[in-house]
Amino acid sequence: MRVQMLGLCRFSYVGLRGYQRDHASVSERRTFLYDPARLARRWLWFTTLALPGWLAQTDPDFTLVIMTGPDLPEPYLTRLRGLAARHPQLRLALIPPMDRHLEACHAAVAPHVDPSADVVGHFRHDDDDAVALDYVARARADFATVEGLWRAEGRLSLDHARGLMMRANGPGAQFIPRIAHNMGVALTIFLRPDQPKTALHFNHTRLPLWMPGVAVTRPLMFIRGIHADSDSGDMGPGLPWDIAPDALDRQLALRFGLDRTALNGLGRRLEAGVGAGPSC
């Protein structure tokens, strides 16, 4: 069975709805999202935490659509164009502001759906989160074990629920281990390729209303960034689990390809006002 893995990452997309923080107009939303200090912080999160895992996936057969507006301020638009040019898995979708956010997300994703696939594994990814280096490979492998559930309805959610909540502040990065179901990160929605929907069409907190779901609680699969710019700034419900500090450092390196020193530096740079960031 041919499984296409297809994701959407919104990078400061100017459009109404679709976020927990409301704005009265496109102009008001643009002013908020394109604030230079905020864009610098978002770029730092994206390049330090989110991007490394996607560029080092053990299974490179996936597409991650980065959705933003055609008027995204420089240098960020040029940087995103450069990333997409260098990495075939990354596709840049420049979507003008739209009142209906789900229609905008579909406009970004639809051109990249492979109609020859038997099933499409849709996923969403925020620019301040991380997935493990084998997320794509494990999503495919785990789907194969529960394919029968998908065949019954043509919809299935696969939730890789073990993660780390990361707070970055002045002293460094703090990690809170949690098993959190249907967080939105490392969550795959399997649909038929002819269905005009994306992962964003299904509220991840209410997935059982629309489809059967399977939770996979091992191994460690995601890091969720929690900070002042988060659209949702709390951890949400979940179960704590324990990990020793030295084991945590090893897991950051082995599972995510991340260095604890660099993540501590993220907190310090955010506290200091970011400064000159990587051009990527």
Domain regions of the chain by residue span: 3-272
Among 33-47, 203-217, 240-254, 258-272, the least confident range? 258-272
pLDDT surpasses 60 at 276: no
pLDDT surpasses 90 at 133: yes
pLDDT surpasses 50 at 277: no
φ/ψ of residue 52, rounded to 5: -55, -40
* Partners of 157 in beta bridges: 189, 213
Mean pLDDT, range 254-272, rounded to an integer: 88
Quote the CA–CA distance of 91 and 196 in Å, as a whole number: 19
pLDDT > 70: what percent of the chain? 91
Residue with tokens 């979940």: 238
pTM (predicted TM-score)? 0.93
* 223 CB-near residues (< 8 Å, 6+ apart): 49, 129, 130, 163, 164, 165, 166, 175, 185, 256, 258
Buried b (16+ CB within 10 A) or exposed e, 229-240: ebeeeeeeebee
Mean pLDDT, range 209-230, rounded to an integer: 91
Can you state the angle between helices 245-256 and 260-272, rounded to 10 degrees?
Answer: 90
- Supply angle C-alpha 149, 190, 125, rounded to 5: 140
pLDDT surpasses 90 at 16: no
Confidence of residue 203 (pLDDT cuts 50, 70, 90): very high
pLDDT surpasses 50 at 216: yes
pLDDT surpasses 70 at 23: no
Mean pLDDT, range 82-94, rounded to an integer: 98
Among 114-118, 159-163, 201-205, the least confident range? 201-205
- What SS3 state is found at 200? helix
Q: pLDDT tens for residues 179-188?
A: 999 999 999 9
> How high does pLDDT run on average in the chain?
91
pLDDT > 90: what percent of the chain? 79
Which tokens belong to 255? Answer: 């599972």
pLDDT surpasses 60 at 217: yes
Mean pLDDT, range 132-137, rounded to an integer: 98
Name which of 122, 125, 52 is nearest 83 in CA terms: 52
Between strands 172-179 and 239-240, the pairing is antiparallel
- The more confidently predicted of residues 22 and 125 is 125
Confidence of residue 232 (pLDDT cuts 50, 70, 90): low
pLDDT surpasses 50 at 178: yes
Long-range CB pairs of 275-278 (<8 Å, 24+ gap) are: 277/40, 277/43, 277/44, 277/47, 278/47
* 141 CB-near residues (< 8 Å, 6+ apart): none
pLDDT surpasses 50 at 220: yes
| CATH code given to domain 3-272 | 3.90.550
Could you tell me the CA-to-CA distances from 116 to 3, 64, 88, 175 in Å, in that order? 10, 18, 19, 41
Mean pLDDT, range 57-61, rounded to an integer: 98
pLDDT surpasses 80 at 235: no
